[in-house]
Amino acid sequence: MSKKLAAEFFGTFWLVFGGCGTAVLAAGFPQLGVGFVGVALAFGLTVVTMAYAVGGISGGHFNPAISFGLAIAGRFSWAELIPYWVVQVVGGTVGAGVLYVIASGAPDFVAGKFASNGYGALSPGHYSLLAALVAETTLTAAFLLVVLGSTSKTAPAGFAPLAIGLALTLIHLISIPVTNTSVNPARSTAAALFAQTDALGQLWLFWVAPLAGAALGALIWKSLIETKAA
């Protein structure tokens, strides 16, 4: 169990450090900024790389919503859910902390949103609470379906990390303008802790919506797809 938890810690650390790090350090860098497309790709790459690196140890969740959905789908032990959530949040927070130390080394550094998620005034496109709720729920449900499908017995062996990473990239391309993309409560918590906005006040949505979406995705899988694909 300790090896599984360590793997989830490092995987979530890498997801937050790599994905949020790209957003904070490189997205808007003068002349060479990677933009939101680069940020979307960075989040996908963090999942691909760590899924191959440690996914064989822990399952490569790196996301409390994914762990929750997998438990509902019968692919993960409920007894391990809370320990996974704890190390995922801690790993993400450490990743954000390391990023903060690096970013604050710039002479003109202002934490601002610090790649946090939000709606209304904290949404990149000023999308409403309802829009954020629907987006995060829908996209997390779809993300879990990709996870379940790509790791099923009928899926081609060895390609699950690529499918999952590409799915996360696509999710970011869709929803960065809406919520700055969460679909991951650990990632949202980690960034909100260092943001100089009301991100913590809006954090509840980025737990509720991804968990609801994961539950929805698991139920869709079990009722409509599992008998053919699992």
> Rounded to whole angstroms, how far apart are CA atoms 14 and 117?
18
> Rounded to whole angstroms, how far apart are CA atoms 213 and 211?
5
- The model carries a pTM of 0.94
Residues ≥6 apart with Cβ < 8 Å to 142: 167, 171, 217
> Rounded to whole angstroms, how far apart are CA atoms 52 and 48?
6
Q: Tokens at residue 194, please?
A: 């260092």
Does residue 52 have a pLDDT over 80? yes
pLDDT digits (tens, 9 = 90+) for 114-126: 999 999 999 999 9
> Rounded to whole angstroms, how far apart are CA atoms 143 and 214?
8
Q: 203: closest CA among 225, 176, 180?
A: 180
Q: How high is the pLDDT of residue 28?
A: 73
Q: What is the largest CA-CA distance in the chain?
A: 57
> Rounded to whole angstroms, how far apart are CA atoms 153 and 113?
41
Q: Tokens at residue 191, please?
A: 């960034």
> Rounded to whole angstroms, how far apart are CA atoms 43 and 213?
19
Q: Tokens at residue 57, please?
A: 């140890």
The arithmetic mean of pLDDT across residues 78-97, rounded, is 98
pLDDT > 70: percent of the chain: 97
Domain ranges of the chain: 2-229
Helix (H, G, I), strand (E, B) or coil at 38: helix
Q: How high is the pLDDT of residue 146?
A: 97
Q: How high is the pLDDT of residue 228?
A: 56
Q: Tokens at residue 150, please?
A: 């790509």
CB atoms within 10 A of CB 141: 23
Does residue 85 have a pLDDT over 70? yes
Length of the chain: 230
Mean pLDDT of all residues belonging to the chain: 94
Whole-number Cα distances in Å, 228 to 1, 142, 152: 31, 18, 10
Q: Tokens at residue 218, please?
A: 């698991």
Does residue 227 have a pLDDT over 80? no
Does residue 137 have a pLDDT over 80? yes
Fold of 2-229: Glycerol uptake facilitator protein (1.20.1080)
